[in-house]
Structure 1
Amino acid sequence: MRLTLTEFLTLDGVVQGPGMPEEDTSGGFTRGGWSFPYADEDFGRLMTGWFEEADAFLLGRRTYDIFAAHWPRVTDPADPIATKLNALPKYVASRTLRTAEWRNTTILSDDVPARVAELKKRPGREIGISGSAELARSLLAEGLIDEVRLLFHPVVLGGGKKLFAEGIAPLALRLTRVETTASGIVLHVYEPAGAPEYGSFPAPE
């Protein structure tokens, strides 16, 4: 299976708390819910399409806790995202989580990159990662993510957790798709392309 990453970002790179004000207040963050005003029909179409391709989900502990508190309560069989999340296998990377009540959840507590590499060998289409920035950074460094979907929202927050934080392993990316929603979200889809290359522009003679 392919491993795909979907991230909501502000223009200054913040990924913290996109869905609601109380989603993630760690570090004193008070600007959660910034994605909500831009969730138009185009946005819904993109998300629904990706969830239709998923055969499993991989989440970090914080994102898992947020999802597990919300999605099991969404029982409408016509909801394409809830239906997928509640029914399909879910894997949560955590060294501290001991039990998981959300149906079809497996805890990955040790050597997560190796466990993920094994999951990718199973038959199927995609294992989808949503959010989970810390997990995403570690798997990007290991070369395990096959596609990166970045949805840049037209808002600047000036603070908050970032996907490409200081100290992340250098990585080159190849742009494969660009799309803009009516509300102003710009989707960039990338494939990892190995290590960055460096050079310099020639000085004028």
Structure 2
Amino acid sequence: MELSVTQFLTLDGVYQAPGGPEEDSSGKFAHGGWSAPYGDDDFGAFMVSVFDRVDAFLLGRKTYEIFASYWPHHNEPGNPIANKLNDLPKYVPTNTLEQADWPGTELLHGDLVKEVTELKSRPGRELQVHGSGNLAHTLLAHGLVDTLHILTFPVILGTGKRFFAEGAQPTGFDLTDSRVTSKGVTISSLRKTGAPTYGDFGTD
């Protein structure tokens, strides 16, 4: 399986608590729910297209707990997102959770890089990460991410957790798809190509 990361970001790179104020108020973050006003048919269609390719999920512990408190209670027949989240395997790297009640969940307590590398070696299409900023940082730092879907929302917050933190492995990407929703969300899909290439504008 290939590993994809889908991340919601503000213009200044904040990923913290996009869906609601209760998601993550750490650091006295007061802007939770900043992505909610930008939902529309374009946004929904893109997310459905992402979930069409998934065979398993890899979720950070905080994101897992948010999803587990919501999606099992919204599993209407034919819901293309809820049905996938409820029916497919979910893997959660954690040092704190000892059990998980959401069916299909497996907790990973071993070496993260080794565990994820083994998951990627299994047959299937995509192992998907949604949100899970701290987990995504680690995956990027170890070169484990094959595809990034970055949804940039037209808002600046000035505070909050930033997604592209120092320590990521230098990596080049090709832009494979780009679109803008009716409410101004820029969606960029990028596929890893390897190490960055460099040049010099001062030469002929």
> Shared fold by TM > 0.5?
yes
On the 8 A contact 2:12/2:157 being kept in 1, the answer is yes
Match of 1:40 in 2: 40
1:49-89, CA deviations, whole angstroms, 9 ceiling, x for partnerless residues? 11121111000111111111111111311321111101110
| CA shift for structure 1 position 198 | 3.9
1:32-181 → structure 2 map (5 Å cutoff) = 32-181=32-181
Deviations 1:140-180 (A, max 9, x none): 22221110000001111111111101343333222221111
**Matched AA of 1:50:** V
Amino acid at match of 1:6: T
Q: Take 2:110 and 2:33, find their aligned partners in 1: how far apart are those partners? A: 32
Q: Which amino acid aligns with 1:57?
A: F
**Unaligned regions of 5+ residues in structure 2, if any?**
none
Structure 1: stretches of 5+ with no match in the other structure: none
The reply to whether residue 4 of structure 1 matches residue 20 of structure 2 is no
Considering only aligned residues, what root-mean-square deviation do their CA atoms show, in Å?
1.5
Aligned residues: 204
C-alpha separation in 2, matches of 1:141 and 1:18? 23
The amino acid across from 1:190 in the alignment is: L
Partner of 1:127, secondary structure, is strand
Give the SS at the match of 1:80.
coil
Distance 1:132 1:19 in 2: 13
Q: After alignment, is 39-48 or 167-176 more displaced?
A: 167-176
TM-score normalised by length of structure 2: 0.94
Contact 2:174 2:192 in 1 (8 A): yes
Taking only the aligned residue pairs, the percentage that are identical comes to 52
Of the structure 1 ranges 157-166 and 34-43, higher mean CA displacement relative to structure 2 is found in 157-166
Summarize deviations over 1:74-130 as a string: whole Å, max 9, x none.
131132111110111000011111101111000111111111111112111111100
One-letter code aligned to 1:169? Q
Distance 2:29 2:110 in 1: 30
TM-superposed CA distance for 1:199, in Å, is 4.3
TM-score, normalised on structure 1?
Answer: 0.94
Hey, what does 1:189 align to over in structure 2? 189
